[in-house]
Structures are given as C-alpha cells and as structure tokens.
Amino acid sequence: MTLQKSATVVASVVAAILVVIKLIVGILSGSAAVLASAIDSILDIAVSMFNYFAISKAEQAPSERFNYGLGKIEALAAVIEGTIITISGLFIFYKGVMNIVTHRQIEYLQSSIFVMLISILLTGGLVIFLNKVYEKTKNMVVKSDALHYKTDLFSNSAVLLSLAIVYFTGWDWIDGIFGIAIAIYIVKEAYELIKEGTLMLLDVALDEKIVEGIKKIITSQPEVTDYHYLKTRRSGDTNFVDVHVVFTPEISLMDAHRVSDRIEEEIKKLDPKSKWHLTIHLDPYDDSPHEE
C-alpha cells in the first residue's frame, strides 16, 4: 500500500472514532456545534473512503483508452470533497440559526467539553501526519484531506471555546453564534478547494515561478535561438510541458537532441518531487505564426 493510500485509511479510522463520541454527546447535550461537528465527521469518513478510491485510480498506469493516465481524478475528488464540505457548512449554519431562534439549552456541558478536547488532539495529530505525507508525495487528494481536517481542527477549537463560554456564563445562544461562524469559515475553505480542483481540471498553467524557470532554462542554452508554443499543465502528481525549441538549420539532429535532453533534465530539477512529462519539438526555424 502506497503512503498516500495509507494516509486515507488513517484518516478514515480517526474520523470513525470521532463520529462515535461526538454523535453520542451531541445528541444528548443538544449542542448545535457538537452535533454539527459529529455530522462533519460522518462526512469525513465518506470523503476519506472516496479519496482512497480516487488515489487507487489515479495511480494506475496509462492505458490505451487513457493515454495520459487518470491523474485528474485527484482534482475531481477535490471538487467533490469541497462540495460536500460546503453542504455540511450550510447545515451547520442552519443549526446555529435554529439554536438561537429556539433558545435551546445545552446539557452535559462537561462531557461535551471533554469530547471536544479529545477531538482536537486526534485531529491535530492527523493534520500533522497528512501534511507530512503531502510534502513527500505532492498528492492533491492528500492535500485536500489535510485541508479538510485542518478546518475541522479550527472548528473543533471554536466549539470548545463556545462550550467553555456557555459553561461559565450560561449564555446558550453563544453556541449558535459559534456554529454560524464555523459554518462561514468552512464554506470559505471549501471554496478554495473547489477552485483549485476546478483549475486543474481546466488545465491551468503551472505556477508562474516554475514557468519562468522553464523559460530561463531554454533561453540559457547557447544552441537555442528561440522558442514558442510553450504550454504547461498539471494532472495528479505529474507536470506536463510542451514547447517548440528553435535551432539553426545547420545543427545536427544528434546535437539538437542532446541539448533537448539537457533542457529536460534542468526543468525536472524545478520540482523534483513531482513527475514530469516533457514534449520538446525541435525546429530548424521559427514556424510560429506572426502578425504582419
């Protein structure tokens, strides 16, 4: 089992533990914040299981039908996960408003506080683990999972704070206020996740810094007179680069190919943790269209 797959399994187990303790206390206490956190943990299990499936598919080798592999499943998973997080955020917002309107009193405060402390410790450890896995693999699914549980960490901390305020002041409406604030934060974070996944699905160019590095590498080769048609994109853990490189007509194919290999090796150093798929077209002259 790969490291990224192991990460999704660990996330699922942690989420399952949190569901049990949060759901029980959330129902008994009547806290909108705790119950919302429990529902979010239920969604976490479904999302982590889906992520395991997505990673398994994304890791499959290119086939006759899918020549470039299935790396974009990672981006699709990020969009789906972001949508699920958004829905849970809207539900939390609704519960927060209803608790304020109905003036529902929170019970079992001490038990709720204890549950949220355990939740923060488990979630914090999981976020650290997932971030380390992402740094090693640059897997977008793992990154989205880490972001998901990071929002959980912040929301759990907010829930704990709201419960503490209610415990010391008796202001039950504070629980609803914090529930609404948590919901707004969750929806905001989900939007960023959906945006990133969508941009990858639309073949957005690589980071501007990397693109500038590619241009610098190409133009630094003394045998190269020009370049054009530079296109970049990312799919899963692979960076794709297509470019036409112009040489003088007198250069031999062997020498031009040698320069091309040198360019490829230098470009790969810009992001050594990612895979690269480079297509360099060798031109004896500039065949790009020019406006008169």
Per residue in 87-124, pLDDT (tens digit) is 877 877 887 788 778 776 666 667 778 877 888 888 88
Same domain, 79 and 103: yes
Residues 6+ apart with CB under 8 A from 9: 1, 48, 52
- 282 pairs with which residues across the strands? 245
| Among 201, 230, 253, residue at a domain's last position | 201
Instruction: Let me know if residue 178 belongs to a domain.
Output: yes
Identify the pLDDT of residue 36: 66
CATH number for position 45: 1.20.1510.10
Instruction: Let me know if residue 94 belongs to a domain.
Output: yes
Structural domains in the chain (count): 2
End-to-end CA distance of the chain: 58
Same domain, 31 and 171: yes
The arithmetic mean of pLDDT across residues 117-143, rounded, is 84
Identify the pLDDT of residue 190: 81
Same domain, 32 and 121: yes
* pLDDT greater than 60 at residue 286: yes
CA gap 185, 206 in Å, rounded: 28
Neighbours of 103 (CB within 10 A): 9
Instruction: Let me know if residue 288 belongs to a domain.
Output: no
CA gap 159, 179 in Å, rounded: 7
CA gap 47, 44 in Å, rounded: 5
Whether 271 contacts 279, CB under 8 Å = no
Q: What is the rounded average pLDDT for all residues in the chain? A: 82
Residues 6+ apart with CB under 8 A from 152: 37, 40, 41, 44, 123
Amino acid at 63: S
* pLDDT greater than 50 at residue 290: yes
**Which carries the bigger pLDDT value, residue 165 or residue 140?**
165
Give me the domain span that covers residue 155: 3-201
Confidence band for 291, pLDDT divided at 50, 70 and 90:
very low
Confidence band for 71, pLDDT divided at 50, 70 and 90:
confident
Instruction: Let me know if residue 292 belongs to a domain.
Output: no
Instruction: Let me know if residue 289 belongs to a domain.
Output: no
| Among 166, 201, 236, residue at a domain's last position | 201
Same domain, 42 and 144: yes
CATH number for position 219: 3.30.70.1350
Same domain, 13 and 112: yes
DSSP SS3 for 240? strand
φ and ψ at residue 240, rounded to 5 degrees: -110, 135
* pLDDT greater than 70 at residue 292: no
CA gap 109, 26 in Å, rounded: 10
* pLDDT greater than 80 at residue 280: yes
Instruction: Give me the sheet containing 226-235, strands edge to edge.
Output: 226-235, 238-246, 275-283
Per residue in 211-249, pLDDT (tens digit) is 999 999 999 999 999 999 999 998 877 899 999 999 988
* pLDDT greater than 80 at residue 21: no
Instruction: Let me know if residue 75 belongs to a domain.
Output: yes
Instruction: Let me know if residue 290 belongs to a domain.
Output: no
Residues 6+ apart with CB under 8 A from 225: 246, 247, 248
Identify the pLDDT of residue 85: 77
Whether 182 contacts 158, CB under 8 Å = yes
Same domain, 146 and 11: yes
| Among 185, 201, 217, residue at a domain's last position | 201
**Percent of the chain beyond pLDDT 70?**
89
Same domain, 118 and 55: yes
Cα dihedral sign, 30-31-37-43:
positive
Per residue in 174-199, pLDDT (tens digit) is 877 877 887 887 788 788 878 888 98
The arithmetic mean of pLDDT across residues 24-45, rounded, is 68
Same domain, 262 and 195: no
CA gap 129, 39 in Å, rounded: 23
Identify the pLDDT of residue 200: 86
Picking from 199, 204, 230, 195, the residue whose alpha carbon sits closest to that of residue 215 is 230
Same domain, 146 and 181: yes
φ and ψ at residue 241, rounded to 5 degrees: -135, 130
Per residue in 3-13, pLDDT (tens digit) is 777 887 887 78
Same domain, 120 and 189: yes
Same domain, 246 and 119: no
Same domain, 66 and 160: yes
Instruction: Let me know if residue 260 belongs to a domain.
Output: yes
φ and ψ at residue 59, rounded to 5 degrees: -85, -10
Neighbours of 151 (CB within 10 A): 23
